[in-house]
């Protein structure tokens, strides 16, 4: 975190010298990654074509961006819409803002697959009535939050980018990344189940899941700082940030918190 704050400090001291520039406009678009009735590549392309950004910021790291046109996923909303946009407007920059080496970092530190295995184990214990009363209450809150999130998401793409969805999503993510650790910390079984990391060392479900939860905060902070850095490097430009909808509320809050005077956040879905 010290590294993050140093970057923020270095960026913020330049605020005094930014008055002669137009502010960079940041459009944060919450997406679902795979094509569905809620969002498909054509719908996303039409949105991009209306905004006409100078820069696309992708939830990818530099390695993924380097292979962006080579490893094309047929069901990817962001990739297919972006490629179509970049072909129409070839001067557009296509840049990463993801935590560098995200997937390898999670695997090497044992966060994956302990994340999914832990939640599956919690669910199994819950279904067998083996959680204590407090932990049962926490997990029921998690299940109810998931149901609310899914129900609201069926309202469509615009609804996914609403303040109401952000509120439901924030609540759900807080339970997943903070409250569920109360279960893994208090139930002994999570300290006795292990996975083997790539280096051959074992890590318990309890420890691996906690690392994964902590990474949620680190990852979102890193992405926000990468966005701020890009905004400063491309002053006065129009930037669209394509991020998974579950990150949108967090990134937006961080951009507001770390605001350095060089950018403004534009809500595409609440313009009128």
Q: Show pLDDT as tens, one digit a residue, over the chain (272 residues).
A: 555 555 555 555 554 444 446 899 999 999 999 999 999 999 999 999 999 999 999 999 999 999 999 989 999 999 999 999 999 999 999 999 999 999 999 999 999 999 999 999 999 999 999 999 999 999 999 999 999 999 998 899 999 999 999 999 999 999 999 999 999 999 999 999 999 999 999 999 999 999 999 999 999 999 999 999 999 999 999 999 999 999 999 999 999 999 988 999 999 998 64
What are the distances in angstroms from CA 181 to CA 120, 129, 268? 14, 18, 36
- Token pair belonging to 205: 């479900």
Separation CA 59–CA 223 (nearest Å): 8
Q: Is 210 helix (H, G, I), strand (E, B) or coil?
A: helix
Residue with tokens 């615009």: 158
pLDDT in tens, 201-248: 999 999 999 999 999 999 999 999 999 999 999 999 999 999 999 999
pLDDT in tens, 168-188: 999 999 999 999 999 999 999
Separation CA 41–CA 33 (nearest Å): 10
Instruction: Annotate 176-198 with b (16+ C-beta within 10 A) or e (fewer).
Output: bbebbbebbeebeebeeebbebe
Phi, psi of 197 (to 5 degrees): -75, 165
């Amino acid at each position: 975190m010290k590294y993050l704050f140093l970057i923020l400090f270095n960026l913020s001291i330049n605020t005094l010298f930014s008055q002669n520039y137009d502010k960079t406009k940041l459009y944060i678009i919450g997406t679902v990654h795979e094509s569905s009735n809620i969002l498909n590549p054509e719908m996303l392309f039409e949105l991009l074509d209306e905004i006409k950004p100078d820069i696309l910021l992708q939830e990818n790291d530099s390695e993924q961006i380097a292979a962006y046109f080579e490893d094309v996923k047929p069901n990817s909303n962001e990739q297919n819409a972006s490629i179509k946009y970049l072909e129409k407007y070839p001067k557009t920059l296509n840049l990463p803002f993801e935590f560098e080496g995200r997937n390898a970092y999670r695997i090497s530190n044992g966060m994956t697959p302990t994340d999914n295995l832990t939640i599956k184990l919690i669910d199994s214990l819950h279904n067998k009535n083996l959680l204590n009363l407090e932990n049962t209450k926490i997990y029921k809150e998690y299940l109810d939050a998931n149901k609310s999130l899914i129900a609201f998401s069926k309202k469509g793409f615009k609804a996914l980018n609403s303040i109401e969805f952000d509120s439901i999503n924030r609540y759900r993510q807080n339970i997943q990344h903070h409250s569920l650790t109360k279960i893994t910390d208090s139930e002994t079984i999570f300290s006795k189940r292990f996975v083997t990391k790539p280096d051959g060392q074992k890590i318990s479900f309890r420890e691996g899941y906690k690392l994964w939860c902590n990474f949620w905060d680190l990852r979102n902070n890193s992405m926000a700082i990468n966005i701020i850095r890009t905004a400063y490097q491309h002053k006065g430009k129009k930037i669209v940030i394509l991020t998974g909808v579950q990150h949108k509320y967090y990134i937006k809050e961080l951009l507001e918190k770390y605001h350095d005077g060089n950018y403004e956040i534009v809500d595409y879905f609440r313009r009128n």
